Amino acid sequence: MDEREDRFKTIEPVEPALTPLGTPPDAPLRSRAGDIIHTAPELAVGEADVRSAEAGEFVRGSSLWRDAWRRLLKNKLAVIGLVVVALLTFASLLGPPIIKATTGFTYDYIPREVELLKSFPPFTGVNGTFSWAHPMGTDNSGRDLLARVLLGGRISLMVGIIATLVSLVIGVSYGAVSGYLGGRADTLMMRVVDVLYSLPYIILVIVLLAMFRSSTAVGQMVLLFLALGSVSWLTMARIVRGQVLSLKNQEFVLAARATGVSGPRIVFRHLVPNALGPVIVYATLTIPAVMLQEAFLSFLGFGVQPPYASWGSLAADGIQNLGIFPWQLIFPGVTMALMLFSLNFVGDGLRDALDPQMRKQ
């Protein structure tokens, strides 16, 4: 009986001891010495994790773009390509005003002296003397070839970038809408792309430039931008369509539909941003392709018109005098080749950096 009574005795609560005034508080967990885990075992991932968290050491997260940038920097050819592209771009932008300020030569400056109205070799002045005035020589009219090559870099880059942006706007919109709609609409839209693929696009560009030929050099340049961009969007549309087809049944798209988000908003706010990786890679590879097409059109006389010049038009002029004045072809040709090779290296590096299979390495 006594044992039963002892078992059912109430335990009186013990009042916590009061901390005397002036006693410093306990040290924080992260500064306590020893290997004591201050977290319940069922909540702790591991002793090392708990101790590192108590010490204030947290693992920093990484994003897709940060990992892609790190992989891109490990690609030596891509890094060299980036450096060359940056140098040629800055030289094309800053070179002509510097040349004008230091020497007074511009891309269209023709000297008044009769003895200067001919093509001089690089670093050569009148009577064959050495001169720093023309590091790349002059053309048939005595114009400084360095200033014209740098101006040609401006226009060639403008042609490549603007035409690529036009193809991006058309191709991304067309492909994303086609992939999102699906069904008969997708089939019809892709058959239109197949029909356009079967036509020689250079012939289309020539026809467009011949039909809408402008009387001014600037107007002809704008038509060249639009014509090249309007026929370069077909592959972009197919790439974006394939990405949208693989994304449109994902959970985030279904959640957006369930909350009442409209179709255009789903396409351009949810699907297109998630397809930017392949789009960026293909856009990087499209720029050199468009620049090469512009050079080919300049050979045919449908490119940039005088007094402006591009690398393609300079090469077209230089090939006519290749046997007599080879520097007129060598300098614009080598500069254009460097830019095209570098852009292709950068595009290949971006493709490898954004490849999902490469993320595990």
User: Can you give the pLDDT at residue 187?
Assistant: 92
Q: How large is the average pLDDT for residues 135-150?
A: 88
Question: What is the maximum alpha-carbon separation in the chain?
Answer: 134
What was the pLDDT predicted at 50?
Answer: 47
Mean pLDDT value across residues 254-282: 86
Q: For 177-193, give one letter per residue: b (16+ CB within 10 A) or e.
A: bbbbbeeeebeebbeeb
pLDDT in tens, 322-343: 888 888 889 998 999 999 899 8
Q: What is the structure's pLDDT at 80? A: 93
Contact between 309 and 152 under an 8 Å Cβ cutoff? The reply is: yes
pTM: 0.71
* Residues of the chain above pLDDT 70, percent: 80
More confident residue, 26 or 274: 274
Q: Both tokens of residue 177?
A: 């809408």
**Whole-number average pLDDT of the chain:** 79
Closest CA to 139 of 332, 303, 325, 331: 325
Task: Grade residue 36 by pLDDT with cuts at 50, 70 and 90.
Answer: very low
pLDDT surpasses 90 at 110: no
**What local confidence, expressed as pLDDT, does residue 35 receive?**
47
Determine the average pLDDT of the residues in 284-312.
82
- Residue 33's pLDDT band (cuts 50, 70, 90): very low
pLDDT at 18 over 60: no
Q: What DSSP line would sit under 31-86, residue for residue?
A: G--SS---S-TTT-S-HHHHHHHHTT--PPP--HHHHHHHHHHH-HHHHHHHHHHH
Higher local confidence (pLDDT), 98 or 281: 98
Distance CA 219, CA 229 (A): 15
Cα 256 from Cα 338, distance rounded (Å): 46
| Reported confidence tier of residue 91, pLDDT bands at 50, 70, 90 | very high
Q: What is the pLDDT of residues 153-205, one digit of tens each?
A: 998 888 888 888 888 899 999 999 999 998 899 999 999 998 888 888 778 78
